[in-house]
Amino acid sequence: MSLTDVALQVIWTRLISVVEEQAQALVRTAFSTSVREAGDLSAGVYDAEGRMLAQAVTGTPGHVNAMADAVAHFRREIGVETMAEGDVYVTNDPWMGTGHLHDITVVTPSFLDGRLVGFFACTAHVVDVGGRGFGADASSVYEEGIRLPIMRFADRGEVDRTLLALVRANVREPDQIVGDMHALATSNEIGHRRLVETMREFGLADLAPVSDFILGASRRATLERIAALPRATATGEMTVDGFDRPITLRATVTVHADRIVTDFAGTSPADAKGINCPLVYTKAYACYALKVAIAPDIPNNHASLEPFEVVAEEGTIVHAVHPAPVALRHIVGHFVPDTVFDAFDRIVPGVVPAEGAGCLCNFQVSLRPTAPGGRRAEVLTFNSGGSGARPGADGLNATAFPSGVMTMPVEATEHAGPVMIWRKELRKGSGGAGRTRGGLGQHMEVGALPGHEFDLSAMLDRRDHPARGRRGGAPGAPTEIARSDGASMRVKGRQFVPEGARVVMAFPGGGGYGDPAEREPALVRRDLARGYIDAATARETYGMSGADADAVLAAAKRGEDV
């Protein structure tokens, strides 16, 4: 059957809808709060050659852009000739999946009338994989947990009970992990059903014409955007805290007529601790940065990502090789876009935002009872600092960029174990000043219920290197972390917290954009009224008179518009 371009466009849109339903099914059936509440997942559909055709809107760039390469590994390792209906494959291999052991990727071949027509894949971050637990403390990947090579989760519909027994024996939250694995497989099955319905509706025997249309249109559109850019080369650089010493990320971006090459020459070597980033994850976020800068409206797929090439020397922190520890690969990976933006801003000014918090402000609480009646639990919580100010708009408060995952509600966190969140609110004054203001970070205070002590695994950064402003904007506020009894704490690593003590944290704000003197007075009054800035900042940074500041605060107290 010959399909018109209109019909092919309808099918393309349908596929995007199918994978979004696939992702939402995963959200609704997953056990781990990182999936259910934060949306730390991805879902996609691929053609029979393993090329990604569509991705779900729900999910993270690091997952889906890394997962774009994963199906090729599954095809090679499993062997297409051995695949059968009812098969489901799994891995959490950092170098063949999405960069660390805590992400489980599941791939399902899709058959129509006995013929392999494509694949569905999804990834979810699970709360525990054994080993030292989620954190940066390991010195090799062997310490970080159980590693599943690419293998069958189900063979012709029969789940591998030995695999599940091994997983259960090696993790601290076996019901959650096994439940998540079943949820991943089920979400792929839902995608498969919808694909079969679509193919029968349009009389398709395979996805070849759809694949040719999607990939051809996406490639042409992306190359048009690249061709419109100046042929230029620029280098960007940033320094972040690292584990026990600062690390430098350096990216040289070169725009060619038909591609953009990002070279990470000059970046720091791999670290002794688990903040290293496999190339697959570095590539995911480098491609994402350029794509949102020049082609945000072109759907993500194999062809729209293909013109973005990434080069990095083996053994650097952005191209860590086995057996480097990689548990917190997201910290370095989430700083990649700001490094690329620093270079791209020198080629095309006025497009990219100022630096933001970058990496997620995560921590995991490992709780232990100190008295009868308590319980052990692993509670992982995702939190965000502020994003960087944009050229034409303020940065977003407490919003994860570039990862896009959601901040977990207090209620969901407390439901997961005997943990108590005493404070969670926006951090006044943390957004960098500018013509447009950086997004605000958060204050957060966490402890355990009586009868419990805990270890807190901190996964923070930007204490010593806050987000920089752009084009005259001021930096955002740095990260702060300490124990309520006065004991100091590190921004990374597993640290003991005795019963009754709390951990007090302030997450970083985003950098400002442009000269603060150019900020609209109405926006300054709004920020003061909402408590985003104080009166001193309104006067000293933005030039508001003392009388005006007093009037704004008085009106806000009365509940009046300002």
pLDDT in tens, 90-124: 999 999 999 999 999 999 999 999 999 999 999 99
pLDDT digits (tens, 9 = 90+) for 290-347: 999 999 999 999 999 999 999 999 999 999 999 999 999 999 999 999 999 999 999 9
Per-residue pLDDT, averaged over 470-496, amounts to: 97
Per-residue pLDDT, averaged over 119-135, amounts to: 96
Return the closest-CA partner of residue 26 out of 10, 9, 44. 44
DSSP element (H, E) containing 221: helix 208-227
Beta pairing class for 308-311 and 260-263: parallel
Looking at residue 235, its pLDDT comes to 98
Looking at residue 560, its pLDDT comes to 84
pLDDT digits (tens, 9 = 90+) for 220-253: 999 999 999 999 999 999 999 999 999 999 999 9
Q: Is the per-residue pLDDT at 561 higher than 90?
A: no
Looking at residue 267, its pLDDT comes to 98
Per-residue pLDDT, averaged over 14-41, amounts to: 94
Q: What is the total residue count of the chain?
A: 562
Tell me the sheet residues that pair with 380: 364
Q: What percent of the chain has a predicted confidence (pLDDT) above 90?
A: 94
Of the two residues 37 and 194, the one the predictor is more confident about is 194
Cβ contacts of 482 within 8 Å, gap of 6 or more? 488, 489, 503, 504
Alpha carbon distances (Å) from 35 to 136, 233, 366: 21, 39, 19
Q: What is the mean pLDDT of the chain?
A: 96
Q: Is the per-residue pLDDT at 2 higher than 80?
A: no
- Using pLDDT thresholds of 50, 70 and 90, give the confidence band for residue 1: low
Instruction: Specify the pTM.
Output: 0.96
Q: Is the per-residue pLDDT at 59 higher than 90?
A: no
Q: Is the per-residue pLDDT at 21 higher than 70?
A: yes
8-state DSSP, 474: P
pLDDT digits (tens, 9 = 90+) for 511-525: 999 999 999 999 999
Looking at residue 63, its pLDDT comes to 87
Looking at residue 407, its pLDDT comes to 87
Q: Strand 158-159's sheet: what is its strand order?
A: 52-55, 41-47, 115-125, 103-112, 88-91, 151-155, 158-159
Alpha helices (H) along 298-382: 302-305, 329-347
Per-residue pLDDT, averaged over 273-300, amounts to: 96
φ, ψ of residue 455 in degrees (nearest 5): -105, 135
Residue 206 burial by CB count (10 A; 0-12/13-18/19+): exposed, middle or buried? middle
For the CA atoms of 296, 297, 303, 307, what is the dihedral angle to 10 degrees?
-40
| Strands (DSSP E) found in 374-413 | 377-381
Per-residue pLDDT, averaged over 27-41, amounts to: 92
pLDDT digits (tens, 9 = 90+) for 338-389: 999 999 999 999 999 999 999 999 999 999 999 998 999 999 999 999 999 9
Per-residue pLDDT, averaged over 118-140, amounts to: 96
Per-residue pLDDT, averaged over 8-12, amounts to: 97
Q: Give, rounded to a whole angstrom, the gap between the first and last alpha carbons of the chain.
A: 63
Looking at residue 93, its pLDDT comes to 98
| Strands (DSSP E) found in 436-484 | 442-448, 452-459, 480-483
Tell me the sheet residues that pair with 365: 379, 456
Q: Strand 419-426's sheet: what is its strand order?
A: 419-426, 442-448, 503-506, 480-483
